[in-house]
Amino acid sequence: MKAKNFSFYFGIGLLSFIVLVAAFAPWLTHYDPIGQDLLHTLASPNSHHWLGTDNLGRDVLTRIIYGARIDLSIGVLAVLFPFILGTTLGLISGWRGGWFDAILMRIVDTTIAFPFYVLAIALVFVVGAGPKSIIIAISLVGWVAYCRIIRAAVLVAKELDYVHAAKLSGLPTGRILRRHILPNVISQAIVFSMSDIVLSILAIVSLGYLGLGVPIPTAEWGSMIQEGQAYILQQWWIPTIPGIMVVIVGFSLSLIGDGLVKRLNK
Amino acid sequence: MNFLSYAGKRLLQVIPALFGISVAVFTLVHLIPGDPADVLLGQTATPARTKILHHTLGIDRPILVQYFSFLNHLFHGSLGTSFYDRLSVTSLIAGRLQASAFLLVGGILLSILISLPLAVLAASKEGAVRDQAVRVIPIIGLGMPQVWIGIELILLLGLKVKLFPVSGFGETFLEHVRSVFLPSLSIAIGLSPILIRSLRASMLDILDADFVLTARSKGLSRARVTISHVLRNAIIASVTVLGVNIAYLIGSTVIVERVFAIPGTGSLMIDAIGRRDYPIVQGVTLFFAVAVVVVNLITDLIHAALDPRVSLG
């Protein structure tokens, strides 16, 4: 196996492992991620609690595993909607051009003027904290990247001979876009979506830390980091390990993304 | 096209962006489902307060009238009045700017100090072990949450080795510098993966350029070429890359200010959210977006002035 392929499959393996652990959480740990045990708070790692307990006596490892469910699923959902919206708008905009394109590009310019976190925080503020709001906030900002990537690719693709041929043979526009253009331009958006999932998980964690994300006491990596900050001198692992989990997820997605680029460039 | 007419054209392009920003920020409040006053005031809602807020927001008037009155206030430099302490939002933002500026400048300086040498090191021999090693940094670094970097720095350099203060902003200039060191380092570590990637690519282009080959063939030493030819161009490249990422940088300060309890503009926004102080949230959002547009404009103009190859057409 070539080294390139190895890192690609290593990324997939690592991510699959985390996803499986998260999916089978109830079978892997018998602790309740939000169940308090006030007699055993801030315990150091021991045979019952491999990563110790937090200030409310909750098992840290259990919360990290259940946190993966929340962070990964919201992370993927928060990329899915902008992916679909941005790709669709980018297709139409690149293909049609004209006033539609002009207006859309001004909206794009406006959206990218806002620092992502500032706009996301403001949006979560008006829509209210919670998973739904996070997905709405990230979607309202995130579609822009897909729109630009797809639009640029469509501008190139629509001048290619096979597209002219499809047009001349009288195929309806919708069919040309779906069957001829989309399959040829989507790959860049897919590659970008890998790093976009990392960015959206980072956003969920940051919003969680700021108290604007998934409401406590739900186990979520960002709020775990925030709650653990107060005990960092005694129990450094409580805020540290959720962060390492984010790094590992980011690392595996980066490997997958890089592997995809190499495969698509062949 | 000369520089002045390029600058004029570039300035004109800013107008639609500013218009878009004003519409977007104005629309924010209208995204709130139900009566915005109830949502904005939350548990602090009383009939009297709701009535005042309806009047302040002007939501009983037609939407276009509301928008033009919003614009009118903006042109007079007014971003409204805080619900909480009845102070002007403009003066509240101005009062917090110093700390944010310290943080931003510190973050930029440390980012360049970290990224530029690594990018030069990697690009100096493409494909070598050092290049491979540097290229691993973005793969791991991109996934590090800014808040987490901050907390780990607090633990390692603030609490274990008591080198730097872990919160606050201090009173004197030197205290400010010491206080923003760890927060700036968090921003720099978060930003470096992006910078290293772009700078490495620019460095490879520069090293490939004819003028470098000419300089080398004239018999100039490798070190001399790197310092006087390559590095100068690399700094121009850094300015451009930083300009492109200014929105990201500003976003980072908002998060990092919170971790280190720095009394900057970002903290102002987050505190306002806790108190449901809508005018501040709206004002800071608008302020940051305008700042990004202005910085992008300045970077473009500096770039055009410094680099004769930039097409002014």
Question: What span, in angstroms and rounded, lies between the C-alpha atoms of B253 and B180?
Answer: 11
The pLDDT value recorded for residue B33 is 65
Residue A169 has φ and ψ, to the nearest 5°, of -80, 5
Long-range Cβ pairs for the range B6-15 (8 Å, 24+): B6/B304, B6/B312, B7/B301, B7/B304, B10/B297, B10/B300, B10/B301, B11/B297, B14/B293, B14/B294, B14/B297
More confident position, B191 or B231: B191
| Closest partner CB to B273 (pick from A109, A205, A212) | A212
The pLDDT value recorded for residue B308 is 65
Place of tokens 């909480």: B84
- pLDDT level of residue B264 (50, 70, 90 thresholds): very high
A109 contacts in chain B (CB < 8 Å): 16-17, 20
Question: What span, in angstroms and rounded, lies between the C-alpha atoms of B106 and B102?
Answer: 6
Amino acid at A80: L
Q: Do A114 and B292 touch (CB under 8 A)?
A: yes
Residue B81 has φ and ψ, to the nearest 5°, of -120, 140
Count of alpha carbons within 13 angstroms of residue A220, beta-carbon side? 29
Count of residues for chain B? 313
More confident position, A69 or B49: A69
The pLDDT value recorded for residue B309 is 64
The pLDDT value recorded for residue B310 is 60
Question: Does residue B142 register a pLDDT over 70?
Answer: yes
- Torsion angle in degrees (nearest 10) through CA of A226, A228, A230, A233: -140
Biggest CA–CA distance in chain A, Å, is 77
More confident position, B81 or B35: B81
pLDDT tens for B18-49 read: 888 888 888 887 776 666 677 667 777 788 87
Nearest to B187 by CA among B140, B141, B132: B141
Q: Do B270 and A121 touch (CB under 8 A)?
A: yes
The pLDDT value recorded for residue B313 is 45
Residue B261 has φ and ψ, to the nearest 5°, of 50, 50
- pLDDT level of residue A191 (50, 70, 90 thresholds): confident
Q: What letter does residue B168 receive in the DSSP assignment?
A: -
Q: Do A113 and B20 touch (CB under 8 A)?
A: yes
Question: What span, in angstroms and rounded, lies between the C-alpha atoms of A65 and A62?
Answer: 5
| Backbone CA torsion sign across A178, A181, A184, A188 | negative
Shortest distance between the Cα of A228 and any Cα of chain B, in A, equals 10
- pLDDT level of residue A79 (50, 70, 90 thresholds): very high
B289 contacts in chain A (CB < 8 Å): 113-115, 118-119
The pLDDT value recorded for residue B311 is 56
Q: Residue A33 has which token pair? A: 């991620």
The pLDDT value recorded for residue B87 is 86
The angle formed by the CA atoms of residues A92, A94 and A95, to the nearest 5 degrees, is 65
Q: Do A198 and B142 touch (CB under 8 A)?
A: yes
Arithmetic mean of pLDDT, A144-163: 89
Question: Does residue A158 register a pLDDT over 60?
Answer: yes
- Structure ipTM: 0.87
Residue B88 has φ and ψ, to the nearest 5°, of -70, 135
- pLDDT level of residue A221 (50, 70, 90 thresholds): very high
Residue A59 has φ and ψ, to the nearest 5°, of -70, 120
Question: What span, in angstroms and rounded, lies between the C-alpha atoms of B94 and A227?
Answer: 31
> Could you count the other beta carbons within 10 Å of the beta carbon of residue B261?
13
| Closest partner CB to B145 (pick from A128, A205, A229) | A205
The pLDDT value recorded for residue A214 is 85
Using only C-alpha atoms, chain A has a radius of gyration, in whole angstroms, of: 22
Nearest to B100 by CA among B286, B284, B298: B284
Please report the residues numbered 203 through 222 in chain A whose beta carbons come closer than 8 angstroms to any beta carbon of chain B.
205-206, 209-212, 222
Q: Name the H helices within chain B.
A: 3-28, 36-41, 47-57, 63-75, 89-124, 129-141, 146-153, 173-208, 210-217, 222-224, 232-244, 246-259, 265-274, 278-306
Mean pLDDT of the residues in chain B:
83
Lowest mean pLDDT among A80-94, A114-128, A196-210: A114-128
Shortest distance between the Cα of B269 and any Cα of chain A, in A, equals 9
Q: Do B23 and A251 touch (CB under 8 A)?
A: no
Please report the residues numbered 1 through 20 in chain B whose beta carbons come closer than 8 angstroms to any beta carbon of chain A.
16-17, 20
| Closest partner CB to B20 (pick from A106, A116, A210) | A106
Question: Does residue B2 register a pLDDT over 80?
Answer: no
Shortest distance between the Cα of A27 and any Cα of chain B, in A, equals 28
Residue B88, SS3? strand
The pLDDT value recorded for residue A159 is 85
| 8 A C-beta contact, residue B180 and residue B102 | yes
% chain B with pLDDT above 90: 16
Question: Does residue B183 register a pLDDT over 90?
Answer: yes
Q: Residue A168 has which token pair? A: 């001349």
Mean pLDDT of the residues in chain A:
87
The pLDDT value recorded for residue A218 is 86
Q: What domains appear along chain A, each with residue ranges and CATH number?
A: 15-30+50-265 (1.10.3720.10)
